[in-house]
């Protein structure tokens, strides 16, 4: 916020707080920095939870040559406060990337998070000792994709002093997903 106000001294109050008419622009520019951070970490896709229940813009369809690096569907600039939950701040962004076979074996366990349903064949394979999520996905879920996912629940949750958001391994297809635990909680 201090950097934002430094470049726009007339749009901020004396104590470096953005005025209400510029909050959406602030969130938009701040999100571009967050997206750049995740892009540099190797993440390939970003999805706004807000866009799952509200009309958003799409790169290449309703917008051409946007500033986003890995976000393909995004809110209008005027909706950024709402996109991050408004007053309630309960909508976030999910960043994902496809791991290599070696990386998935190192990071992801075959322990599905409670409440996730595996097929009977996949459960039996795990009971018999299958320890690779890559093999599990290829054998029992060939039309699905394997992803490493980090969810940023709030735009200001990314803080250098706070621990990074927890990561998850997903086997996903469209809106269906099976969430698996990581072998080591923080290795990304």
CA dist 21 and 43 (Å) reads: 32
Residue 185: how many other CB atoms lie within 10 Å: 10
182-187 own/partner pairs: CB under 8 Å, 24+ apart: 182/107, 182/108, 182/109, 183/106, 183/107, 183/108, 183/109, 184/107, 187/106, 187/107
Is this model's pTM higher than 0.85 or not? no
**Domain range list for the chain:** 2-97
| Tens of each residue's pLDDT in the chain, 188 residues | 777 777 776 666 666 666 666 778 888 888 999 999 999 999 999 999 888 888 899 998 888 889 999 999 999 988 888 887 665 556 789 999 999 999 888 889 888 888 888 999 999 999 998 889 999 999 999 999 999 999 887 766 555 566 666 788 999 998 889 999 888 654 44
Query: How far is residue 171 from each of residues 103, 116, 122, 160, measured CA to CA in Å?
Result: 15, 11, 12, 29
Closest CA to 158 of 5, 32, 47: 32
């Amino acid at each position: 916020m201090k950097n934002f106000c430094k470049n726009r001294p007339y749009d901020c109050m004396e104590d470096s707080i953005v005025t209400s008419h510029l909050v959406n622009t602030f969130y938009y520019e701040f999100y571009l920095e967050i997206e750049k951070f995740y892009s540099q970490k190797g993440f390939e896709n970003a999805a706004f939870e807000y866009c799952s229940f509200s009309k958003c813009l799409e790169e290449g369809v309703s917008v051409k040559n946007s500033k986003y690096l890995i976000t393909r569907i995004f809110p209008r600039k005027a909706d950024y406060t709402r996109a991050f939950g408004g007053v309630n701040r309960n909508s976030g962004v999910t960043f994902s990337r496809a791991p290599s076979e070696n990386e998935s074996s190192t990071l992801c366990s075959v322990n599905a998070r409670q409440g996730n349903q595996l097929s009977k064949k996949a459960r039996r394979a795990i009971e018999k000792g299958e320890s690779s999520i890559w093999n599990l996905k290829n054998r029992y879920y060939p039309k699905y994709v394997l992803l490493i996912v980090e969810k940023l629940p709030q735009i200001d949750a990314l803080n250098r002093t706070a621990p990074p958001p927890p990561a998850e391994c997903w086997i996903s297809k469209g809106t269906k997903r099976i969430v698996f635990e990581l072998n080591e909680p923080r290795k990304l």
